Amino acid sequence: MADSLFPHQTAFYRGKVRDVYSISDRWLVMIASDRISAFDVVLPRPIPFKGQVLNQIAAFMLEKTKDICPNWLLDVPAPHVSIGLKCEPFKIEMVVRGNLTGHAWRTYSSGKEELCGVKMPAGMKENDYFPTPVITPSTKASEGHDEDISKEEIIARGLAKAAEWDILEAYALKLFEKGNKIAAKRGLILVDTKYEFGKIGDTIYLMDEIHTPDSSRYFYADGFEERQRTGERQKQLSKEFVREWLIANNFMGKEGQTVPVMDDEWVSTISKRYIELYEKLIGEKFVPQHLGEEETHSRIKDSLEKLSA
């Protein structure tokens, strides 16, 4: 039973793609599943090794960015498991965009040149760089769809104090800059991403995953400018190709819409794309690991015992 899986467990939460256990109200155990979501809907079939890919990329990136701000991660006892500090989360996502892509492009191409209170320059084409990266936050919905929100609304609604916003903004932009430097060394462009933060006392921590294909979008740098000139589609590594497939099959998570059938070939294609991004971004061969529930739980318990000692 989820409510009694680990010693001193105080809560359990099943997210879209993770199972999250609170331990002694001090730590979180996050088990990354192979579930995949898009448009805030969990799709009907799991993607092999997706959980391992996400967890290992996030652990790599949290290690690489810990000089910028404190983060929640304490241990990775299994390929698809992370254990870290339990923070009081800010109920917002800090979405940073370097290029006019995805939701921002859909908004812009509909004739709106403002997103989350951020004025977007006139005359931009899809995937063009913004003059400087912009932050377009969203609310973090416990269920249903996240919603765009401006800095002013965040402060007015008490989702963050003005001084906290300044810290969140600075951290997010520095993390994005570092993420792009890491990506550039691997021949990639970090196009956009989202960060989540929380607090313990007065200290703000980076939480959850960062710079993964679920939270970020990457373009291949080689040929980017030429593709922009000719109007060709950018070659990318991200979850956007799943969203595009859903849109092409008339699904955007709206009421009355039905998720299209995912056949074995499509599920295998998605898995291979996730593994491709891991290998391209990390620069190492992906090694699939098959851990059963018993072995996974044993490793988690051992890790928690060490943290409690």
Q: Are 175 and 69 in contact (CB under 8 A)?
A: yes
The pLDDT assigned to 118 comes to: 96
**274 Cα distance to chain centroid:** 13
Per-residue DSSP letter, 109: H
Contacts of 8 (CB under 8 A, 6+ apart): 23, 24, 304, 308
> Tens of pLDDT along 206-223?
999 999 988 999 999 999
**What DSSP string runs through 138-155?**
EE--SSS---B--HHHHH
At residue 162, what is the residue type? A
> Tens of pLDDT along 249-296?
999 989 899 999 999 999 999 999 899 889 999 999 999 998 888 999
Per-residue DSSP letter, 287: -
Distance CA 259, CA 266 (A): 14
Domains within the chain, CATH numbers bracketed: 2-87+267-308 (3.30.200.20), 89-242 (3.30.470.20)
Q: Are 173 and 135 in contact (CB under 8 A)?
A: yes
Model confidence, pTM: 0.90
Rounded (10°) angle between helices 50-64 and 162-185:
110
